[in-house]
Structure 1
Amino acid sequence: MQLISLAQAGHTVSSDLLKTEFNVEDLNPPVMDGLDDLLSVRMHPFILAGSSQIEISASGKYSKNIPLKTVTSIVDGLKKLYIQKLKPLESMHRFNEFVSPALTNSDFDAKPMVMLLGQYSTGKTTFIKHLLRSGYPGAHIGPEPTTDRFVAVMNGTDERSIPGNTVAVQADMPFNGLTTFGSAFLSKFQCSQMAHPLLEHITFIDTPGVLSGEKQRTQRSYDFTGVTSWFAAKSDLILLLFDPHKLDISDEFKRVISSLRGHDDKIRVVLNKADQVGTQQLMRVYGALMWSLGKVLNTPEVMRVYIGSFNDKPIHVIDDGPMGAELFEKEQDDLLNDLKEIPKRACDRRINEFVKRARAAKIHAYIMNQLKKEMPSWYGKAKAQQRLIDNLETLFEKIQREHHLPPGDFPNVDSFRETLKGYNVDKFERMKSKMIQGVDDMLAYDIPKLLNTFRNPYE
């Protein structure tokens, strides 16, 4: 501080200056330009005490920014942004109970995930075995429904299978949110660990074959569609596997695919075992698959379908038509290249999912606040709540118009209505505009600053 005072007094700062004796009482204290102006602004004491960077937001108010010197990477910055700005908003408005459980450090640090979905005996487990060049602990392959549980194939020091209840409580694994599905599901979930160079970069989620008829809905002791939706939100890539002999998309499989709504960019369709039919049959099978997918995936774009035979056996072409082994090899190379790009895109995907979550939390806060505002102060609360539940579509439209929000970001009305029936709307809290402004500033300033400061840690 004395050196700063001497420099401001006109002395040249050098090693000789340190040897010169000065009367400390004759020195003026250091002057900081702009400090008086900053202190004259009436600000919240928490902002002054806890932040080394203060920035004026678009609304003209001061907002707290995370000092980049305390951040080591993009992922570390997202963790701090979540704890300081997004998680308080989620906790206040019960976002974790309605939409998605709260995130933990393991959710940010987890390796990219690839989930495989399909009906039984479409080659999901064989696909993983083909990529690993070996089977994983607990893998069963056969023409009948063999995989009866969700299996997370991860990297580990030795080969072992860990039961689901144990996996869900381990802090270093990103599966804590599965506890919401209860012990009935956790008994049908396991983690298979093995040392493998591919698993150092990617985690595979093997799933039970989707059943047909009422067995899917009544004979499973857990919410299969809900679990699939949870894994879809965590996954970086979702592979829908089809068999040339199992092209029919049952009502249950359609429900599962519908649960992937909002993750269309992650979905890849694989027509597996394509070498089991001839050229003419393959052409008809491809057309039938595209027709079936067109009825389920309500998108104007054409879904990319990879054709191949992903197993350890050499490709065997039935006839010598124009679509021979070369076609299958090129299609398989395209899909494998897509898989190789997953670790490079993991950081972008993580930021994308974080931004989607922040937007969803904002809209959830607006919904809960509007529900609270619509409730009467004294009498008739039960009837008012039932009226709000019955007219949720109108409520969503009102919030959308009032706050100029995109309709695609709103939750599914039917699912939200079912969840809302178990709560007392009168107990909800009013929204704090300061929290909403903090999330807006996070999206507008903090995340772009992170991207400009740090490089992709997965490259």
Structure 2
Amino acid sequence: MKGTVLICCFLSLLILQATAEEEGEEIPSVLRDRSHIDETLRLATEEKAGDYAAALERLRKIYHTSIKPMEQAYKYNELRQHEISGAEPTTSEFTVIMHGEKIRSVEGIVMAADSSRSFSPLEKFGQNFLEKLIGIEMPHKLLERVTFVDTPGIIENRKQQERGYPFNDVCQWFIDRADLIFVVFDPTKLDVGLELEMLFRQLKGRESQIRIILNKADNLATQDLMRVYGALFWSLAPLINVTEPPRVYVSSFWPYDYAPDTSRELFKREEISLLEDLNQVIENRMENKIAFIRQHGIRVRIHGLLVDRYVQTFKEKMSFFSDPELVFKEIVDDPDKFYIFKSILAKTNVSKFDLPNRDAYRDFFGINPVTNFKPLAAQCSYMGGCLLDKIEKAITNELPALLSSINSGKQPGLSSCEATGCGEKPKNRYRKN
């Protein structure tokens, strides 16, 4: 499996024509020097495909045996549902740019039917979506290492039209599988509003993988470009709730020469920086996948502990004469009264900054009755062990060990435990001994 780069609101980054031809813009005839691309991306370097495949298979096994069971038992994916109304797309297709022996297009229905392409799960979104999915194969060295996915762009302040398929669910499917996410802006059509806010809400938890691109920068004079850059940075700051904001790359990402009287050297350096960033992500994609699965496992564990606490509290408060709905409504409406979240912090090593929003559980239990869930103590079997034990072993031992094994041949640096904070097993005083 190759790395995946998701391109939001853009068409075919680094794959020639961009959007100018579709929009009727005049195409320059002079191509600029692009020799730095192969050098920066190290396309001549051979990869150890066998080592990568073995590590990926081990990662899959850890996920399916140690994390997914708790994820399914406590319906973690339903907690993650995003209440987002989709934005109006500027292009109608999801375009997947991938490696092939020759240049050709592949229809979405063919991609989904071919299990070797890893797109068969997309069938669940229906035939209307598959008609909006297209693959483009190219015999390019870069595409042996990474697959690009171009999502339909969005335009603010447009009336939402029915697309016939779950647009946001499809976007989330690709987001969950992306190693790097580019969100691309046109400086002449800078629209930052509610729909973009909803997009970043959908990218929550993926902030470290987001890169912002201010494209077509040579269309503006230097002073105007500085003003647009500042406005974009200011507008995005409240949308991306992280200490260090994502990197913003400013250039003109197509193969034609820059417009006259523009910052040519600056734009080229920005493009090289982006390519170096992309190359770094490609080379470290296994480390990134392990880190993400570990982060995901921590969130699933916290969710399991919280659901377990809700279940236990409900059972403690119920009596023969109690109304189950009224009892649980009181618990869900005011979890602090029953120390739901505080007990998790007191009895486990969970950070208060990792706790989900309390309101999310009101919605979660609104569609999932508390009686549908077993307590963690009952989620054990003689052959399979306990869900909590398995997920904690994955987080504290198996995933850090896998990371250490693939890093063993690299330059000295932080050890896996120093980088991931493994070390001793976290104390879980919540579990009965």
Fold equivalence (TM over 0.5): yes
Structure 2 residue aligned with 1:339: 278
Counting only pairs closer than 5 Å after superposition, residues 304-453 of structure 1 correspond to structure 2 as: 304-318=247-261, 324-375=263-314, 376=318, 379-391=322-334, 395-431=340-376, 432=379, 434-453=386-405
2:131 and 2:333 map into 1 onto residues whose CA distance is 37
Structure 2 residue aligned with 1:81: 62
Over aligned residue pairs, what C-alpha RMSD do you find? 3.3
Larger RCO: Structure 1 or Structure 2 (Cα < 8 Å, ≥ 6 residues apart)? Answer: 2
Deviation at 1:246, TM superposition (A): 1.9
- Provide the identity percentage: 31
> SS where residue 309 of structure 1 aligns?
coil
Shifted more, 367-376 versus 234-243: the winner is 367-376
**1:235 is matched with which residue: 175, 178, 200?**
178
For the pair 1:202 / 2:146, whether they are aligned, the reply is: yes
C-alpha distance 361-183 of structure 1, shift in aligned 2 (>3 A): farther
2:256 and 2:66 map into 1 onto residues whose CA distance is 52
Deviation at 1:230, TM superposition (A): 3.4
The alignment of Structure 1 onto Structure 2 pairs a total of residues equal to: 342
| Bigger radius of gyration among the two | 1
Deviation by residue 1:185-211 (Cα, 9 ceiling, x = unmatched): 444333333332211111111011112
For the pair 1:276 / 2:257, whether they are aligned, the reply is: no
1:72 and 1:165 map into 2 onto residues whose CA distance is 27
Give the letter aligned to residue 234 of structure 2. Answer: W
Counting only pairs closer than 5 Å after superposition, residues 156-195 of structure 1 correspond to structure 2 as: 156-164=100-108, 167-168=111-112, 170-175=114-119, 178=122, 181-183=125-127, 185-195=129-139
1:399 and 1:185 map into 2 onto residues whose CA distance is 42
Give the letter aligned to residue 287 of structure 1. Answer: G
Give the letter aligned to residue 278 of structure 1. Answer: A
Structure 1 residue aligned with 2:241: 298
How high is the TM-score relative to the length of structure 2?
0.69
Which ranges of structure 2 fall in alignment gaps of 5 or more residues?
A: 1-51, 82-86, 381-385, 412-433
Shifted more, 398-407 versus 336-345: the winner is 398-407
2:361 and 2:117 map into 1 onto residues whose CA distance is 29
Deviation at 1:389, TM superposition (A): 4.1
> SS where residue 148 of structure 1 aligns?
coil
How high is the TM-score relative to the length of structure 1?
0.65
C-alpha distance 265-452 of structure 1, shift in aligned 2 (>3 A): closer
1:377 and 1:184 map into 2 onto residues whose CA distance is 51
Native 8 Å contact 2:215 2:253 kept in 1: yes
Native 8 Å contact 1:86 1:439 kept in 2: yes
Shifted more, 72-81 versus 334-343: the winner is 72-81
Give the letter aligned to residue 400 of structure 2. Answer: P
2:162 and 2:218 map into 1 onto residues whose CA distance is 34
**1:252 is matched with which residue: 190, 195, 200?**
195
Deviation by residue 1:20-79 (Cα, 9 ceiling, x = unmatched): xxxxxxxxxxxxxxxxxxxxxxxxxxxxxxxxxxxxxxxxxxxxxxxxxxx983222222
2:330 and 2:409 map into 1 onto residues whose CA distance is 50
Deviation at 1:214, TM superposition (A): 5.1
Deviation at 1:250, TM superposition (A): 1.8
Native 8 Å contact 1:271 1:305 kept in 2: yes
